[in-house]
Structure 1
């Protein structure tokens, strides 16, 4: 395993196409600063108004996780960084020795070890699981059945009964009108086809004569 400075020099050389000692430290600091800025933008766009302040302060991005890398790769400097470490074929331990800035998994682990706490990701807590969705559907269906079964015509007053009958009559009338319109359309179509057939028959008879 090579030294940490040699690793970040190699990454910097691949990213910036430079390899001078004077520029290396300054340029690497600039790269890290830009990567941190991109992580802060990612935290802001990902959490928004959700999530706790602790997890926003220590998001713990794992640079070995393919899903995390895919998310961060939409930021130009992270995309360039991932391409560089892939090109160099760095091991996980070599990457971890360099990736220690704000927002990374190692930085969060250091905070957890120092404080003796665990930063839990609360995003998605308000999203129900598949089992919870099924339970909510069953409860809604049960409530509808109970509401329907709870209607007792003998306990309804005159106004409620008339209202229910009017609604039933309205639905029945609407259905009848729809059927009548459909039948009328069908009849009109049949008459039109019959008329066209007669015209064709007359024309055919005329030509045959």
Structure 2
């Protein structure tokens, strides 16, 4: 005995108690509810219907992913619920779903026109590889290919670093200081300023007590310490290499002697640093301490 048609079973399950506003049969339900939702889904997924793939998306009502997409729409949710409740087989579902946008419509178009509509949904996504198989896949990859990819990555990194490379101000400052030192030596005037901005910075470092911490930071870099104390090629040739006994006093000589003492001696509360002063010479911190401790003369 032949059973009842599948479309009639599905319709009665969706509309158990039909109302005047409900469709009168499955074909009316299809035209009023399902096909409009299919068109909305196609426009939402592709954004247009200008290509054969968008016109014939090939929605498979047995495919889990397609069912998830179509379940966003209310009438399709009720349709899939009826499929599950009735226990329909994939063949029964495929025999029922023969309308616009379905897999049946796509296959018929390809057969009639002798073409194949390629599915571009997965374009741009790599094939899935299980996590336990990824290490084995990398090991099987030819060594030249890995080396070529590594070289490309290093070249790209070098290009990005060169683009953002900053030019150091040390060379320009060194040239200015050398020129001023030579001018001071040739003119015989020890009051010729070296570089006002640099001397202000050095004076601020000395007065605020930051020279000791600066020396401790420099002590962690041996090359920098040796450059500052003149054991290697100095940063300012002609400024740190000349004899301190014959050269006029300058802030550079003060920096050299102070850095050397700060590295070799432990830090203490009072030091014998010569604070830079104007034309009246220099006064040490020890002299100032002795002056404060001396008794005032009686009248």
Partner residue, 1:145: 158
Partner residue, 2:167: 164
* Structure-1 separation of matches of 2:170 and 2:82: 71
* Structure-1 separation of matches of 2:97 and 2:8: 13
Partner residue, 1:93: 91
Q: Summarize deviations over 1:91-134 as a string: whole Å, max 9, x none.
A: 11111111000011111111111111111122353x36489xx9
The answer for unaligned runs of 5 or more in structure 1 is: 152-160, 170-179, 184-209
* Structure-2 separation of matches of 1:123 and 1:101: 21
* Structure-1 separation of matches of 2:171 and 2:27: 76
TM-score by length of structure 2 reads: 0.42
* 1:139 Cα deviation after fit: 3.7
TM-score by length of structure 1 reads: 0.59
Structure 2 residue 35 is matched with structure 1 residue 36: yes
Q: Following superposition of structure 1 onto structure 2, how do residues 18-33 of structure 1 map, counting pairs within 5 Å? A: 18=17, 26-33=24-31
Out of 61, 67, 71, which is 2:69 matched to?
Answer: 71
The alignment covers a number of residue pairs equal to: 152
Mark the CA change 1:2 to 1:65 in structure 2 (over 3 Å): closer, same or farther.
farther
Bigger RCO (CA 8 Å, 6+ sep): 1
Mark the CA change 1:168 to 1:25 in structure 2 (over 3 Å): closer, same or farther.
farther
Q: Summarize deviations over 1:43-101 as a string: whole Å, max 9, x none.
A: 1111125x861010000011111111111111101000011111111111111111000
Q: Is the 8 A contact 1:55 1:121 kept in 2?
A: yes
Q: Is the 8 A contact 1:47 1:123 kept in 2?
A: no
Mark the CA change 1:46 to 1:25 in structure 2 (over 3 Å): closer, same or farther.
closer
Structure whose residues are more often helix by fraction:
1
The answer for unaligned runs of 5 or more in structure 2 is: 128-137, 139-145, 173-209, 214-299
Q: Summarize deviations over 1:22-61 as a string: whole Å, max 9, x none.
A: x998431232122111111111111125x86101000001
Partner residue, 2:14: 15
What's the secondary structure of 1:120's corresponding residue? coil
What's the secondary structure of 1:164's corresponding residue? coil
RMSD: 4.0
Q: Is the 8 A contact 1:9 1:24 kept in 2?
A: no
* Structure-2 separation of matches of 1:83 and 1:43: 22
Partner residue, 1:158: none
Structure 2 residue 118 is matched with structure 1 residue 120: yes
Q: Is the 8 A contact 2:60 2:66 kept in 1?
A: yes
Question: Which deviates further from its counterpart, 23-32 or 71-80?
Answer: 23-32
Q: Is the 8 A contact 2:58 2:105 kept in 1?
A: yes
* Structure-2 separation of matches of 1:99 and 1:167: 78
* Structure-2 separation of matches of 1:7 and 1:168: 88
Partner residue, 2:44: 45
Q: Is the 8 A contact 2:23 2:29 kept in 1?
A: no
